[in-house]
Amino acid sequence: MYRAPLRELRFVLEELLGTGALAGCPAYADYSDELGASILEEAARFAESVLDPLNRPGDREGAHWSPDGVRTAEGFRDAYRQFAAGGWPQLGADPRFGGQHVPQALSNAVQEILASANLAFKLCPMLTHGAVHALAQCASEAQQQLYLPKMVSGEWTGTMVLTEPQAGSDLAQIRTRAVPEGDHYRLFGQKIFITWGEHDFTENTIHMVLARIDGAPPGVKGISLFIVPKVLVGPDGSLGERNEVRCLSIEHKLGIHASPTCVMEYGRGKGAIGYLVGEPNHGLEYMFVMMNTARLAVGVEGYAVGERAFQQAAEYARTRLQGKSPLATGHAPSPIVEHPDVRRMLLTMKSCTEASRALALYAGSQLDLGAHHPDEAVRRAALERGELLIPIVKGWCTETGNETAAIGVQVHGGMGFVEETGAAQYVRDVRITTIYEGTTGIQSNDLFGRKLARDRGAAMAALLADMRRELQAISTTEAAVVQTRDAAARAVTLLEQATGSLLQSMAANPARGFAVSVPYLKLCGVVIGGWLLAKSAALAAAGLGGADRAFYQAKIRTAHFYAKQVLPRALGLAQVVEEGADSVLETSAELL
């Protein structure tokens, strides 16, 4: 049974990040810790009572395809109606269209709760939110007024439609055609891997489709973005006839069975009617607005499933009696949580999840400042940092979520390998998060080839300087916190040196940097997570005298474990970044 980690989420939002950081942002003038806490509590109530009970049955039943459409698993449609009635699609959306403006960091926290409870369900509103964000940023005023109110209310959903059978992640190979016809276009093409492309939740779905206008330049420079409604919408917002949009089939997948992954056909006869967003041939630029929103959300999903796996593993370890622990004094079998190696596994799961959570919410807070702080210099620096962190959140938090879910199976032993315990579902479900919105390799290429390259590492240097300064400012007599602080400081030095090595590769031979970009991304995640946990431990040490003593003690011990058993990974990763490129580049494809 899932229980939202409300105290942990509030600690990160209120104590580690601090609402005061948003005090200078007029957009959040009405936001408070109390409001944030009430939203989290309501999200927890909905997730625990409605979504979590559907998670395992939805996995067993899955979604059902027929020529008439897709029927979702039992209970999912009603759950969505409750979700929309509760106003959850409005959270984080523009108030001009009926949304409730809240900080991105809080939205991330709510997304974690939903993803932990039921990842398959959560993917539908996540994609709608991304489509809403893209339309709010890039569409015309008329398009916004026509589509956004009903998408924000949850009456309609949205999708992201990029991938084609022959193209995969190489969007330059997109073949879907768009033929001009009056004030709209006719689209012809097939798309694959369209999450929630067809379902029975709502009467309309707004597809955000990448296509190539006839005569457009080749490659990514010739891609445009189109609004393609499942059901055509009249000028007054009323629904008309069905568009030429069909779901040809749904995929049979490793996990997230209740989430329909669709093969979509646009235009079998006259063509699917679509409406151009923005300027022709700027589609990839517009779609990246949606993709960045989704990448951050998927990073949250990765560690959120890890949180759920940890909760189940910890409960199993407390109740499973097996063997005698070397720590025990009697002769009776011990709960396996008393065995040192099981405790090590649980602490690995817990500490990596807490580090991932801190990183993802911190990235959201930087995007908040980057969008709304009145000081242009602060706004620009925060936006650059937030954008720098997005591929790290997406790549590292999902890789960590996979590791955590796998450890959860190991804690269960043989019982983890059978479906009855539920531990295996988390491994199956979380696996897609390292692939969604670009694999870990694509994220690391973005981090190295774009984010570091665009400013020659200036944003990373500023982050490293802040990390070092804040670690040096930690002053405490608590031995575990001192050790955690010092370990984090050593790791910052390793990341700084590895970044310098990577920047040299960028100038001399970029291929060397790409050969070690994934280890570099993981190094960033491990070290930034260590910095944030060291800060958390220092805050916890200051709160030991209060009513939450047990919570703060746990924070200190978890951070200390991370410093002793997770942060040492930084040494190996840094060595790979500095010395590992040749082992890749000097091995020809023929030798594989």
Catalytic residues: 437
The CA distance from 360 to 389, in Å, is 8
By DSSP bridging, strand 184-195 and strand 272-276 are: antiparallel
User: Tokens 């409406």, residue?
Assistant: 275
Write the burial class of residue 385 (CB in 10 Å: 0-12 exposed, 13-18 middle, 19+ buried): buried
Cβ atoms of 226 and 271 within 8 Å: the answer is: no
The CA distance from 87 to 75, in Å, is 19
User: Tokens 């709960």, residue?
Assistant: 335
User: Tokens 């291929």, residue?
Assistant: 511
Cβ atoms of 524 and 463 within 8 Å: the answer is: no
Cβ atoms of 178 and 149 within 8 Å: the answer is: no
Q: Which residues contact 514 (CB under 8 A, 6 or more apart)?
A: 445, 448, 449
State whether residue 160 is helix, strand or coil. strand
Neighbours of 196 (CB within 10 A): 26
State whether residue 496 is helix, strand or coil. helix
Cβ atoms of 538 and 483 within 8 Å: the answer is: no
